Amino acid sequence: MQVLSFLLLACVAYSFSHSKYPIIKNGSRVDPSLKGVYRMRNGRPNEVWQKKELSAHITGPQPKDNPVVLPDDFNWCDHPDGKNYCTMSRNQHIPQYCGSCWAHGSVSALGDRIKIARKAKGIDINLSVQHVLNRIEDGSSCHGGGVDSVYSWMKDKDIPLSYETSNPYLACSHESFEGNCKYMKRDLTSAARTCATFGVPCVELKKYPNATLAQYGDVSGRDDMMQEIYQRGPIACGIDAAPILNYTQGIAHMEGEQVDHVISVTGWGQENSVFYWIVRNSWGEYWGEMGYIRVAFGKLLVEEQCVWGVPAGFTTVDNQVHCYEGGENCD
């Protein structure tokens, strides 16, 4: 038995040391009939495409391959060093309803990892969800998308993702007719733009502050998720949102039936010996615990499908392209 155990460990060690990178997975295909329409569940839209396997583009070992000892409590928003490494909370449902949780979860987690890379110095970099809605090519929209859609698009298409100030959130995509969306069709094509003054056409910016992605992948299960979060930063995960529509505070213990929403997980904690995930939602700070919810380990399907992304580069004052106020030198 000891010989067998030794051989198994040797095989695992060999497989890690001899993995061939990049590891590229295309993920499961999505039924085209699910794209661009709401699928109702319990009287509310399901915003997530169901996929058996997520896509990935992995260029090196992951934290789960090299686990470290973990603390009982850890949160990037309230780090042990006294800093906050989390970016802003968002609300996907204004100025009108948009089922873009799949974009908010990934964009927020990537923004956090940029802030981690910057050691929480300087003004926060908030990335543009609207750029994703305007330009993504897999059919994701205000009517739903995949847990992995944002990172797959960014890496596969080498997308430099705009900052929020160059493309603020409109809560609209090409097929949307909710609220103001029916009047905004001409504005839903930009990566980045600016409008100089009255009566002057707006300018599409070809050079703009942006962030790029080095690699991304999927992770699931409590232990692997904790290693990924602790060693590299927040992740985006699916969740069953139906039981938490009226959540106000405390630890959620509901089982969950189906993933229909995407959030980001910034850490974990414990209360009265109950361990929980610290989850940032995208429903505004009026909801929950200032926009967050604590979800008990193993509940609401949070541990079923998650994605991580590693930033490659991002714009700061040190590498900025300096555009005029009207943007005419960057069009």
One of 57, 104, 143, 261 is an active-site residue; which one?
261
The question of whether 131 is a catalytic residue gets the answer no
Residues of the chain with pLDDT under 50: 1-17
Buried b / exposed e over 15-36, threshold 16 CB at 10 Å, is: eeeeeeeeeeeebeebeeeebb
The question of whether 261 is a catalytic residue gets the answer yes
Q: What is the pLDDT of residue 184?
A: 83
The question of whether 281 is a catalytic residue gets the answer yes
Q: What is the pLDDT of residue 325?
A: 93
- Give dist(CA 260, CA 105) in Å, integer: 13
| 95-137 pLDDT per residue, tens | 999 999 999 999 999 999 999 999 999 999 999 999 999 999 9
Bridge-based pairing of strands 292-296 and 274-280 is antiparallel
Q: Please, is 176 exposed, middle or buried when counting C-beta atoms within 10 Å of its C-beta (0-12, 13-18, 19+)?
A: buried
State in words which class domain 72-314 has.
alpha beta
Q: What are the extents of the domains in the chain?
A: 72-314
DSSP output for 306-323: EEEEEEEEE--TTT----
| Tokens found for residue 270 | 């414990």
CB 302 within 8 A of CB 295: yes
Q: What is the pLDDT of residue 34?
A: 65
pTM, 2 dp = 0.92
Q: What is the pLDDT of residue 36?
A: 64
- Give dist(CA 114, CA 120) in Å, integer: 9
Query: Helix 149-156 to helix 101-117 angle, to the nearest 10 degrees?
Result: 60
**Local structure of residue 50 (DSSP, 8 states):** -
Q: Which strand (E) or helix (H) includes residue 276?
A: strand 274-280
**Which residues, 6+ apart, have CB-to-CB distance to 58 below 8 Å?**
21, 22, 23, 24, 215, 216, 217
One of 101, 172, 237, 306 is an active-site residue; which one?
101
One of 167, 210, 281, 323 is an active-site residue; which one?
281
